[in-house]
Amino acid sequence: MNFCPNCGAPIRLEIPEGDDRKRHVCSQCGKIHYQNPKVIAGCILEWEEKILLCRRAIEPKYGLWTLPAGFMEMEETLEQAARRETLEEACAEVDHLALHTIISLPQLSQVYVFFRGEVKEGCFAPGAESLETRLFSEPDIPWHELAFETVTRALKIFFEDRKSGQFKTRVEDLWIPRHPLKKHKC
Amino acid sequence: MNFCPNCGAPIRLEIPEGDDRKRHVCSQCGKIHYQNPKVIAGCILEWEEKILLCRRAIEPKYGLWTLPAGFMEMEETLEQAARRETLEEACAEVDHLALHTIISLPQLSQVYVFFRGEVKEGCFAPGAESLETRLFSEPDIPWHELAFETVTRALKIFFEDRKSGQFKTRVEDLWIPRHPLKKHKC
């Protein structure tokens, strides 16, 4: 942030009185512009024990598979956001929605909220942001072609819970290795 | 938002290509400035079956009672945010933290995330944003002096769960009546 969204004057990074961290403060009108993490809401949806995945038609991660999910909009509830994203990306409506997994990604300042549920009447199709939508049984999940680590984590938890017959809401943190170890060539 | 935080030029409200809702778009650099809901993280903390509440030393709702909670910061996890807010507002550390209640407030574009847990060693004191911190047994909760409807809701769910001996994670929505009915004078 370089300029004040309120008055257009240059922004200064400084610690306001009574605060303990640097904020974007306007040099003219004095307004403090706080920044906060973003919420991404999505769905793990079953139909005949298979899971609905979407192949991304947009960057980042064009061509990779993901769960229907996206940024929560203003004036939405979490559930509305998850349903809207599912409709937009997979043209699917949802039955029996229940909260499943919440994953904080502190390095990206994001919180993922995944619900689980069922594809209504088994109807789905690629939306504008998807190249393809398909149902995968557990052994066929394209683990090495998943777009996001959060999707991998949420699916693994889902299958563990489904196997045990007990679904619990989980809250997890995901830290991205800053300097991943280079793989040795064999 | 009136000016572009990136280049300082005037902002236009328009629907970008491929989008379906109005966004803040820069008239000069073309950058789209999305707005998203904010997350508030907090704790319902017990000590000897009593609940820790803080009396607010800041606006809004100066002088009313609340659970320790506040806006999640960038680069935090949900749990870190809940612990930090508890330390700041009640000078308390937390044991046995578990996710409890998530409440969407669509009209304020906020999501509250409450954990439950225990006040570590029963130690607490008012932080800079609190006039007073105190433990309340269930019958003594100052229901009519609580600062926020989300706090009331989270506490009610907590006591229901405690009574039943079964804590479940709940996800709820809270709609604020736009035109509350006027009370008749008796």
pLDDT of residue B176: 86
Same domain, yes or no: A23 and A57: no
- Residue of chain A whose Cα is closest to the Cα of B175: A77
Same domain, yes or no: A82 and A107: yes
Residue A51 φ/ψ, nearest 5 degrees? -110, 135
**Sign of the Cα pseudo-torsion (B120, B123, B125, B128, in order):** negative
Per residue in A59-99, pLDDT tens?
999 999 999 999 999 999 999 999 999 999 999 999 999 99
pLDDT of residue A177: 82
Same domain, yes or no: A12 and A60: no
CA distances from A39 to A66, B22, B77, B123 (A): 17, 19, 12, 33
Between CA B184 and CA A172 the distance in angstroms is 49
Query: Is A117 a domain residue?
Result: yes
- Contact between chains at B79 and A104 (C-beta distance less than 8 A): yes
B95 CB-near residues (< 8 Å, 6+ apart): B117, B118, B119, B120
Same domain, yes or no: B4 and B56: no
Contacts of A100 in chain B (CB under 8 A): none
Q: Which of B3, B7, B78 sits opposite A111 (nearest CB)?
A: B78
Label residue A22 by pLDDT band (50, 70, 90): very high
Query: Is B178 a domain residue?
Result: no
Of all residues in chain A, the percent with pLDDT exceeding 70 is: 96
What string of pLDDT tens digits covers the 186 residues of chain B? 999 999 999 999 999 998 999 999 999 999 999 999 999 999 999 999 999 999 999 999 999 999 999 999 999 999 999 999 999 999 999 999 999 999 999 999 999 999 999 999 999 999 999 999 999 999 999 999 999 999 999 999 999 999 999 998 999 999 988 765 555 544
Query: Is A148 a domain residue?
Result: yes
Per residue in A54-63, pLDDT tens?
999 999 999 9
Contacts of A173 in chain B (CB under 8 A): 77, 79
Residue A61 belongs to domain spanning: 38-173
| CB-defined contacts A:B, below 8 A | 116
Contacts of B18 in chain A (CB under 8 A): 128
B129 CB-near residues (< 8 Å, 6+ apart): B54, B56, B57, B58, B88, B89
pTM of the model: 0.94
Same domain, yes or no: A31 and A55: no
- Contact between chains at B73 and A21 (C-beta distance less than 8 A): yes
CATH number, residue B158: 3.90.79.10
CATH number, residue A17: 2.20.70.10
- Contact between chains at A99 and B75 (C-beta distance less than 8 A): no
Pick from A144, A122, A148, A117: which is nearest to A133 by CA? A122
Query: Is B186 a domain residue?
Result: no
Same domain, yes or no: A66 and A85: yes
Query: Is B71 a domain residue?
Result: yes
Contacts of A104 in chain B (CB under 8 A): 76-79
Same domain, yes or no: B122 and B139: yes
Pick from B72, B130, B183, B76: which is nearest to A104 by CA? B76
Contacts of A128 in chain B (CB under 8 A): 18
- Contact between chains at B34 and A102 (C-beta distance less than 8 A): no
Query: Is B180 a domain residue?
Result: no
